[in-house]
């Protein structure tokens, strides 16, 4: 954990030190650590300070370049469209005293962005806000469809299920902390294998030249959107994983959190069902937002995408469990196994609901 004074010193690379009142924890991401910067005499935070996890995002220069390219592009389009509240609609990163949008302090990387006032994150959506979210993520992809500058693949093979299954196989073979002896663990290995071929459909279509990659967000969880006090979508956040991917990423990963009636790590599997009304509403909004570019192959396979993402997340949590919890932050020793069970249940429920 970080000392308040350390955080203030880091923040002062971006904002005048004397004006900072406090730097306090914010949010619940599984990868980066996030804080809010409070300025003297102000009630609401003014900025967000974030520690970049450079074990996950090893090329910080590329990471920030991707984000700047995308946010500049969207900003220019919003300006051309005469939008007035642009700073509430797209993230803005501050330049540090180094001239870059990040600093390296010791061995750690940090960045600062504007805090969007009067905004909230939510863990759940209604059909109305799911429609809105579909529109917004669809629009987001549409806005980036004509991007000329290259966007780097910041985490290679991030949503490549064949690659994730291979990582799982490697974890199983290495069995570094002896978790393979458990009967339940063995059982998940079998169940995952049974569905592997069907779940690799996207990669096959890609190899056959039938499925394009587009610039996607790749972490479209509900809590990666800011809403205003009335529940309208304001802005898409957490732009780290923007990279070329199948549209399945954004469609499937949103529903993985939004259509789940339980929590991502719900220990009570009875809470977990797939909410078809949320799926239908999100689909409608997404089709509206993407109608300028979505191909029939992409459209026809959206139900597959909604099953693929709980499956892929189960595979990723499970591999991390077998590896001894080296990737995701955990709150207790069995956390990644509990997450695996919950995502597997959601996978089964999604298949039933979308048959």
Nearer to ligand GN1, 155 or 180 (CB): 155
Q: How far is the CB of 329 from ligand GN1 (least distance, A)?
A: 8
Judged by CB under 6 A, the stretch of 27-35, 101-109, 111-119, 242-250 that binds ligand GN1 is: 27-35
**Is 263 among the residues that bind ligand GN1 (CB under 6 A)?**
no
Touching ligand GN1, residues 300-329 (CB under 6 A): 313
Residues 6+ positions from 71 with CB-CB distance below 8 Å: 90, 91, 92, 93, 239
Assigned token pair, 350? 């999604």
Assigned token pair, 154? 């910041």
Q: Do the beta carbons of residue 302 and residue 253 sit within 8 Å?
A: no
Q: How far is the CB of 19 from ligand GN1 (least distance, A)?
A: 29
Q: How far is the CB of 5 from Mg ion (least distance, A)?
A: 27
Reported in sequence order, the residue ranges of 217-296 that DSSP labels E, i.e. its strands, are 225-228, 233-236, 243-245
**Is 29 among the residues that bind ligand GN1 (CB under 6 A)?**
yes
Nearer to Mg ion, 29 or 152 (CB): 29
Nearer to ligand GN1, 31 or 338 (CB): 31
What distance in Å separates the CA atoms of residue 257 and residue 238, rounded to the nearest whole number? 15
Nearer to ligand GN1, 112 or 319 (CB): 319
List the single partner that 290 binds among ligand GN1, Mg ion, none, CB under 5 to 8 Å by kind: none
> For every residue of 162-194, which 3-state class applies, written as one string?
HHHHHHHHHHHHHCCCCHHHCHHHHHHHHHHHH
Scored b (16 or more CB within 10 A) or e, 98-124 reads eebbbbeeeeebbbbbebbeebebbee
Q: How far is the CB of 32 from ligand GN1 (least distance, A)?
A: 6
**Is 124 among the residues that bind ligand GN1 (CB under 6 A)?**
no
Q: Do the beta carbons of residue 340 and residue 321 sit within 8 Å?
A: yes
**Is 219 among the residues that bind ligand GN1 (CB under 6 A)?**
yes
Touching ligand GN1, residues 54-93 (CB under 6 A): 56
262: Cα within 13 Å, side-chain hemisphere: 22
Q: Quick one: DSSP state of residue 29?
A: -
Residues 6+ positions from 323 with CB-CB distance below 8 Å: 171, 174, 176, 177
List the single partner that 127 binds among ligand GN1, Mg ion, none, CB under 5 to 8 Å by kind: none
Nearer to Mg ion, 56 or 269 (CB): 56
Nearer to ligand GN1, 50 or 69 (CB): 50
**Residue ranges binding ligand GN1 (CB under 6 A):** 29-31, 56, 219, 238, 241, 264, 313
């Amino acid at each position: 954990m970080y000392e308040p004074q350390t955080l203030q010193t880091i923040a002062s690379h971006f904002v005048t030190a004397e004006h900072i009142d406090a730097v306090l924890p914010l949010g619940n991401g599984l990868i980066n650590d996030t804080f809010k910067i409070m300025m003297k005499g102000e009630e609401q935070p003014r900025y967000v300070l974030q520690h970049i996890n450079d074990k996950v995002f090893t090329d910080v220069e590329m990471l920030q370049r991707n984000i700047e390219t995308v946010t500049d592009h969207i900003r220019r389009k919003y300006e051309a469209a005469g939008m007035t509240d642009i700073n509430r609609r797209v993230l803005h990163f501050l330049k540090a005293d180094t001239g870059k949008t990040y600093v390296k302090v010791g061995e750690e990387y940090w960045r600062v962005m504007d805090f969007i006032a009067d905004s909230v994150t939510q863990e759940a959506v209604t059909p109305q806000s799911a429609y809105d979210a579909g529109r917004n993520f669809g629009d987001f992809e549409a806005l980036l469809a004509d991007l000329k500058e290259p966007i780097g693949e910041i985490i290679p093979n991030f949503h490549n299920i064949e690659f994730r299954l291979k990582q799982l196989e490697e974890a199983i073979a290495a069995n570094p902390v002896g978790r393979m002896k458990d009967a339940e663990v063995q059982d998940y290995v079998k169940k995952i294998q049974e569905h592997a071929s069907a779940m690799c459909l996207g990669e096959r279509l890609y190899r056959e030249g039938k499925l394009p990659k587009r610039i996607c967000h790749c972490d479209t969880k509900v809590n990666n959107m800011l809403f205003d006090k009335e529940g309208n979508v304001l802005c898409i956040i957490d732009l780290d994983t923007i990279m070329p991917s199948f549209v399945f990423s954004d469609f499937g990963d949103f529903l993985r959190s939004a259509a789940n009636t339980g929590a991502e790590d719900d220990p009570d599997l009875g809470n977990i069902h797939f909410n078809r009304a949320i799926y239908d509403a999100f689909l409608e909004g997404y089709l509206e937002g993407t109608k300028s570019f979505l191909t029939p192959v992409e459209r026809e396979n959206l139900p597959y995408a909604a099953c693929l993402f709980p499956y892929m997340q189960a595979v990723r949590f499970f591999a991390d469990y077998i590896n001894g919890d080296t990737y995701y932050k955990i709150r207790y020793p069995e956390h990644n196994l509990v997450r695996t069970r919950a995502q597997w249940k959601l996978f089964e429920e999604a298949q039933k609901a979308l048959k």
